[in-house]
A and B are shown apart, each in its own frame.
Chain A
Amino acid sequence: MKLSNTFFGVLFLFVTTLSAQKSLENIEQKIITAYKMSVKTKTDQFQSVHKILNSLDSKENSKAVYWIAFSKYQQARFSNRINHEKAAFKLLKEGIQKLKSIKNPNSEELVLHGTMLSFSIMFQRNIAAIISGKAHTLYDKALHKNKKNLRAYLAIGKSDYFKPVQYGGGFKAESYLKQALSKPDKSTDASFAPTWGRELVYYYLASFLHRENRIEEANSYGKQGLKKFPNSDILKSLVDKLNKK
C-alpha cells in the first residue's frame, strides 16, 4: 500500500509538473480535435483551445505564436466551411499578423505563414498570382532552412496541384508530395514542433494521380493513407470514389 501510494504520488507529481510547465502539451491534437468537433457539430469548438493559448504568460506566448496562428488557421477553415467567409478572412489576417511578428521565423513558421496566405487567395482571388508568389517565397525559404520539413513539401505540392496547367501547374505536385512522404512527421527535435500534414499529403497525392488517370497508383496511396489515418474522412471518401472506378 505504501509502495503504491508512493508510485501514484510520484506519477501525479510528474504529470502535474509537466502540465504546469508545458501548457502546450498536445496542443496540436487539441486544435485538430477542435476543428473536427466544430465540423461535426457545425458550431465553433475552439473556445477550450483559445483558453489554453490565452492563458499562457508572455514568455510562453512567444513560443506559442505558431500554435496561436495554427488555431486561427483551423478556425478559419471551419468558418469558411460554414460560409462565414468574412470571419475566415479576418482569422487568417490575424494569424498572418502573428506570424509576421516573429523576428527570425523558423521553417515551420514560414510554411504556416505561406499556407495561410495561400488559403487567403479564396477571399482575394483578383490578386491570386501575387499572393501565391509571396507564399512560394516563404515555402522556398522554409525548405532552405530545413530540408526535412514535410509541411514545406506538402505546401509546394499542394500549390502546384491547384495551379492551372496553362500557368505551369501539375508538374511538381507528384514529386513534392512523394518527397513529403519520405520525410519524418517532425522536422526538428524541438518541443511542441508540429507533426500535422501527412494525411493531407496522402490525400493530395492520391487525388493528383487520380486526376492523371493513374488509378491503381492513386488507390495504393489512398489506401496507405487510410491505413495510417483510419479516421480520415477525406481519405475515406477519396478511396471510395477510386474503388467505384
Chain B
Amino acid sequence: MKKIICLFFFLISLFTTAQTTISGHIKDSKGRPIDLVNIYLKDVFDGSVTDTKGKFTFNTNIKGKAILSVSSLGYVSIEKEITIGLENLIFDFVLQDATGNLDEIVISAGVFDASDKKKSSILKPLDIVTNPGANGDIYAALATLPGVTPVGNETGLFVRGGEASETKTIIDGTLVASPFFSTVPDIPSRGRFDPFLFKGTLFSTGGYSAQYGQALSSVLVLNTNDMPSKSSYSFDINMAGLGASYTKVWKEKTAVLASIGYTNLSTLFSLVPQNKVWDTAPNGTSASIGFRHRTENGGFYKSFLQYNTSAIALNFKTTGSEAPNSTFSNSSKNVFWNNSFSGYLNDHWKVLLTGSLSFNEDKDQFNEHGSLEKDWLAQSRITLSRRLGKAQIRFGGEMQLFKNEFTTNEDLTIIDNTLTAVYAESDIKFSKKLALRVGLRGEQASVIDKSNIMPRLSLSYRLGRKSLLSFAYGHFYQTPQKEYVRKTTQIDFESATHYIANFQWKTKQRLFRIEAYFKDYEHLIKQASNLSLNNRGTGFSKGIDVFWRDEKSIEKLTYWLSYSLVDSKRFYRNFPIEATPIFVSKHNVSLVANYKLTPLVRAGFAYSYASGKPYVNPNNDAFLADTTIDYHNLNFSASYLASIFGNFSVIFASIKNPFSFKQVFGYRYSDDGTQRSPILPSTNWSFFAGISISLE
C-alpha cells in the first residue's frame, strides 16, 4: 500500500512539474505597456493575451525548442526561438511601431464619407440620421461639417464660399434636379429624401471625382440601401404629420418598399410663436415605392420612385410702406424615378448602369403676379471599372436631357439642354504609402453650344500608421443657372479650380483633420452696365477647415467639433466691385454631441456659430460693407427606444434654440432706405416630438 501511495504522489508531482509557465511583459518603444497582444508558441498554439499592464502568462506541456510568436495590429511582429525545459521562463519584449504594416491607403482630400463598410469613413450613417441639429434632414446634418456655412434664410448647402447652386446631389449615380422641397423667400426648406433611404453618404467639399461634374463647389453622393434584411411595417406620427412604410422581402433576393406620408406644420406653428404670418403653413404629401432584386450572378437592380406635393404661402410686410402686406405662395409637384444596375460583365469588368426621370412643377404667386415653372430631366449613365495591376480604372459616360418651361405674365420661355459627358479615372496605389487618382472629364452643353475638358488629380501619402497627407487639384465647370440662360445663350460655362492640402490623423475612435484650400473662380456670369450678361466675373475662396471627432475620451459620448475659416470675394452678377457675398461667414463653428445615457436612451445637442454675414445697406456707399450680428444656434434632442405592445418603437423629441439666441440673416430696406426690417427665422425657438413604431 505504501507503494501505491508513493506512486500516487509521484504521479501528482510529475504532473505538476510537467508544465512550464511562460510569462513576461510587452511594451512599446516608449516603454508603455501594450495590452491585447497575442503571444503564443507557433505550431503548438499554447498562448495568451496581454492584460492592461502588458503582462502575459501561460502554461505549456511541451519541452525543447519552440518559436514564441508575439503579434499585435499596428506593431512589428516578433518571433523568437526559445528552449523550454523544466524551469519557468520569463520574457520581456519591446514591439516597434509598424509604419510599414498599414491599412489600404485611400484618397481623402476634400471627402467626408459616411459609410458602414469603408474604413476610410469619417462618419457613420447613423451620425447623419441622429444628428441633434438636423431633425432627420440630411442637408442640415451635413451643415455641421467643416466647410459648410449655415445660411438660415436660404435653401441648400453653401460650401466653402460657394453658392447653394454650386453643390449637386447625386443619388445612385444620377443627378437630382430638385433635391429640396419648394419654398418661398426667406424660408429654408428641407431635403426631399428620407435619410433612412441611404446606406452611404459621400460629401465632397472640393476636388471631387471625374465621375461627377456640373458643380463648382461640391457634390453630395448618396447611395441607397441594398437589400432589406426582413419584411416589416412601420408607422410614424409626429407634430408635423404622419406616415407609414411597408417592406416585403422574398428569399433575400427581391424586395418591395413603399411609403406614404403627410406633413402639415400648422399645428406646430399654432403652438410656437411665429415671426412670420402664414397664409398657408408648409404642408405636403409624399409617396414612394422601391424595388430591389439580386440576380443569380451577383448583379443588383434598384429602383426608386418618389412623388411629392407641397404648398406654402407667406404674408410679407412691405418695409416702410403703408401698402397692404404682400403674399407669396408656392405649390409644387415633384416626381423622381431612379434605376440602377450594378454587376459584373465577366471576371474583371464591373458595370454600373443608371437611368432616371424627374419632373418638377412650381406654381408661384406674388400678389397678383403668377408664374409656372416646369422642369423635366431624363438621364442615363454607364460606368465600367476593373482592376489592372496596381490600378483601379473606371470610365464611362452620361447624358442628361433637360427641359425647362417658365411662364410668367403669359410669356413662355423654354430651355432645352442636352448635356453629354465622358470621363475616365484611375486610382493607382504605388505602395501602401502612396496613392494617386488621376481623372479627366469632358462635357458638352447644347444650350450654350460649348464644351470643356476638366483634369482632376489627387495624391495621398501615408506619413505613419495613423496619419495621412493628401493633395487635390481639379478643374470644374458648370452651365450657368437657368435664369441667365433664359436671357441669353451667348454665354460660356462658369468655372472653378480647386487646390486642396489635407492632413488627417485617424484611429478607430478618433479623427483629426485639417484641410487648407484655395478655390479660384473664373468666367462667372457678370451683368454689364447695359444689363447684358457675359462671363467676365471672377472670384476666389480660400480657407482652412478643421474637424475633430472623438468617441473615446468620454465613455458613451460621441462628439465632433468643426471649424471653418473662409475668406471669399467675388466680382460677379450685379456686384459693382469685388466683395464678400451675403452667404459667406468668415468664422464657422459647430459642436455636435450624442450621449448614450443608457442603451435605450440617447440625448444630444448641436451648437452652431457663424460670424456675421455681409448685407446690402443702401445708406452705406461701401458695397456689402455691413455685417449682421453673429449667429448662434443650439438644438437639443433625445430619443428613447421602447416596446409598445411588443413592437419596437422610437420616441423622440427635440428643441431648437431654447435660449432664443437672436438670429438675424440680413435686412430688408424700404425703397427710400430710411427704414429697414430684419430678416428673421420663422420662429425664435421651436420644438418637435414624435413616435415611430415598427412591426413585423
**Which residues of A line the B interface, CB within 8 A?**
1, 3-4, 7, 124-130, 132-137, 164-168, 171, 175, 178-179, 181-183, 214, 217, 220-221, 223-224, 226-227
Asked whether B509 lies within 8 Å of A224 as measured between CB atoms, the reply is no
Q: Is B49 an interface residue (CB 8 A)?
A: yes
Q: A126-B695, A127-B647, A220-B45 are in contact. List 7 more A-B contacts (CB 8 A).
A: A125-B230, A137-B598, A137-B600, A165-B116, A166-B116, A178-B36, A227-B45
Which of A127, A132, A165, A221 has most B Cβ within 10 Å? A127
Asked whether A224 lies within 8 Å of B45 as measured between CB atoms, the reply is yes
Whole-angstrom CA separation of A129 from B643 in the bound complex: 9
Residues of B within 8 A of A171 (CB): 508-509
Q: A130, A217, A227: which contacts B44 (Cβ < 8 A)?
A: A227
Asked whether B38 lies within 8 Å of A220 as measured between CB atoms, the reply is yes
Binary flags per residue of B354-391, CB closer than 8 Å to A gives 1, else 0: 00000000000000000000000000000000000000
Q: Is B189 an interface residue (CB 8 A)?
A: no
B129 → chain A, closest Cβ, in Å? 10
Q: Is B627 an interface residue (CB 8 A)?
A: no
Asked whether A134 lies within 8 Å of B600 as measured between CB atoms, the reply is yes
Which residues of chain B from 565 to 611 have a CB within 8 Å of any chain A CB?
Answer: 598-600
**Which residues of B line the A interface, CB within 8 A?**
1-2, 4-5, 35-36, 38, 40, 44-52, 56, 69, 71, 73, 116-117, 124-126, 199, 230, 232, 508-509, 598-600, 641-643, 646-648, 694-696
Asked whether B49 lies within 8 Å of A182 as measured between CB atoms, the reply is yes
A39 → chain B, closest Cβ, in Å? 25
A242 → chain B, closest Cβ, in Å? 13
Asked whether B599 lies within 8 Å of A166 as measured between CB atoms, the reply is no
Residues of B within 8 A of A166 (CB): 116, 124-126, 199
Residues of B within 8 A of A136 (CB): 599
Which of B4, B47, B48, B52 has most A Cβ within 10 Å? B47
Which of A126, A214, A220 has most B Cβ within 10 Å? A126
Residues of B within 8 A of A223 (CB): 45
Asked whether A178 lies within 8 Å of B49 as measured between CB atoms, the reply is yes
Q: Knowing A4-B1, A217-B38 touch, does A125 contact B696 (C-beta < 8 A)?
A: yes
Whole-angstrom CA separation of A179 from B36 in the bound complex: 6
Q: Knowing A7-B1, A168-B126, A224-B47 touch, does A127 contact B643 (C-beta < 8 A)?
A: yes
Asked whether B36 lies within 8 Å of A182 as measured between CB atoms, the reply is yes
Asked whether B36 lies within 8 Å of A128 as measured between CB atoms, the reply is no
Residues of A within 8 A of B598 (CB): 133, 137
Residues of B within 8 A of A135 (CB): 599
Residues of B within 8 A of A137 (CB): 598-600
Q: Knowing A182-B51, A224-B47 touch, does A130 contact B116 (C-beta < 8 A)?
A: no
Asked whether B69 lies within 8 Å of A7 as measured between CB atoms, the reply is no
Q: A4, A126, A183, A226: which contacts B646 (Cβ < 8 A)?
A: A126
Whole-angstrom CA separation of A240 from B4 in the bound complex: 44
Q: Knowing A166-B124, A181-B48 touch, does A221 contact B38 (C-beta < 8 A)?
A: yes
Asked whether A167 lies within 8 Å of B126 as measured between CB atoms, the reply is yes
Residues of A within 8 A of B694 (CB): 126
Asked whether A226 lies within 8 Å of B648 as measured between CB atoms, the reply is no
Asked whether B643 lies within 8 Å of A7 as measured between CB atoms, the reply is no
Residues of B within 8 A of A167 (CB): 126
B556 → chain A, closest Cβ, in Å? 9
Asked whether A126 lies within 8 Å of B647 as measured between CB atoms, the reply is yes
Residues of B within 8 A of A133 (CB): 598-600, 641
